[in-house]
């Protein structure tokens, strides 16, 4: 057991000096926030996020055919401004670069017109491949890529529509998840049911970010023990995929109607779901791009 530090060696003068420094820091913090307070009593600061929000915003516009060259330019500028020296993009302040965040940023830049030969993308590509490539990215990143035909829907976990029919008393139902998770999972079940794809021109594709571009990626890139919860969910996913392929699904239409109704009923009066909003009525956009 490590020895406890001997506090007696700290002189009274040093202690008093430290206390004075702490008190001065507290005073300066108080003064700062008092100066920042509005006359009505509130504080207002810009909400910033990592570049995934900005990248996904650009993907959304292109998916719906709302491409705007000026908006593409501004989004690309914002993304490039936040690239780290090692070619990556951060998930949070001070990290060493995040794989999925970097893939989404790279993809957004390709959609905006950048080439994989451009220096920022070459550096990002090296980082992504060193970290495992697209195959090792998070599920949400894979879903965004699948919407543009850049990832195979078969390699994405299923969320059967019929799950939305399960009552709250059932052991597995949507109300076992948090409010934010529900507002994500329920709409996702519709997307995963229909698996829409908006094809991109060849110069916007990102096959170069795959370690094995001609092989169907596994649901998880890691080897799992024979008896594990993750292996159970993978086996369950296989059952779901077989069920989705059946020509007869007696509860599918009922589940689709209930899911649509649930989504509409849970929309906020401000137009968003779960308190998440991002549209160009705001200046700057909440996604942080300033578009």
Q: Where are the domains of the chain?
A: 48-150+200-213, 153-195+222-266
What CA–CA distance (Å, rounded) separates 134 from 51? 17
What is the chain's alpha carbon radius of gyration, rounded to the nearest angstrom?
Answer: 24
pLDDT of residue 47: 74
What CA–CA distance (Å, rounded) separates 257 from 73? 40
CB atoms within 10 A of CB 265: 7
What CA–CA distance (Å, rounded) separates 27 from 52? 37
What CA–CA distance (Å, rounded) separates 105 from 197? 20
State how far Cα 276 lies from the chain centre: 13
pLDDT of residue 235: 79
What CA–CA distance (Å, rounded) separates 59 from 186? 21
Task: Write down the residue that tokens 């060259």 correspond to.
Answer: 69
Each of the 291 residues of the chain gets a pLDDT tens digit; together they read 555 555 555 577 788 889 999 999 999 999 999 999 999 999 998 777 899 999 999 999 999 999 999 999 999 999 999 999 999 999 988 888 999 999 999 999 999 999 999 999 999 999 999 999 999 999 999 999 999 999 999 999 999 999 999 999 998 899 998 888 888 999 999 999 999 999 999 999 999 999 998 888 876 766 767 777 777 777 777 888 888 888 889 999 999 999 999 999 998 888 888 765 444 333 334 344 444
Cα distances (angstroms) measured from residue 38 to each of 29, 100, 170: 16, 38, 49
Pick the CATH number of 48-150+200-213 from 1.50.10.20, 3.40.1440.60, 3.40.50.1360, 3.30.497.10: 1.50.10.20
């Amino acid at each position: 057991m490590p020895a406890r530090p001997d506090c007696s060696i700290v002189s009274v003068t040093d202690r008093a000096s430290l206390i004075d420094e702490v008190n001065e820091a507290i005073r300066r913090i108080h003064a700062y926030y008092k100066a920042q307070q509005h006359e009505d009593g509130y504080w207002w600061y810009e909400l910033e996020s990592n570049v995934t929000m900005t990248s996904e915003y650009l993907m959304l516009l292109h998916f719906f055919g709302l491409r705007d060259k000026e908006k593409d330019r501004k989004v690309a500028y914002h993304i490039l401004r936040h690239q780290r020296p090692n070619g990556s993009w951060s998930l949070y302040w001070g990290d060493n670069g995040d794989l999925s965040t970097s893939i989404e940023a790279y993809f957004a830049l390709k959609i905006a017109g950048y080439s994989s030969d451009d220096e920022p993308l070459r550096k990002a590509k090296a980082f992504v491949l060193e970290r495992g490539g697209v195959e090792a990215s998070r599920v949400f990143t894979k879903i965004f890529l699948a919407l543009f035909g850049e990832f195979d829907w078969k390699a994405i976990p299923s969320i059967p529509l019929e799950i939305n029919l399960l009552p709250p008393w059932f052991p597995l139902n949507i109300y076992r998840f948090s409010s934010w998770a529900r507002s994500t999972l329920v709409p996702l079940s519709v997307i995963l049911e229909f698996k829409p794809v908006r094809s991109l021109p060849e110069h916007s594709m990102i096959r170069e970010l795959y370690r094995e571009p001609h092989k169907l990626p596994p649901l998880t890139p890691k080897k799992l023990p024979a008896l594990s919860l993750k292996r159970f969910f993978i086996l369950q996913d296989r059952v779901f995929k077989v069920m989705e392929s059946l020509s007869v699904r007696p509860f599918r239409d009922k589940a689709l109607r209930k899911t649509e109704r649930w989504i509409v009923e849970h929309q906020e009066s401000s137009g968003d779901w779960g308190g998440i909003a991002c549209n160009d009525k705001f200046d700057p956009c909440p996604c942080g791009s300033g578009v």
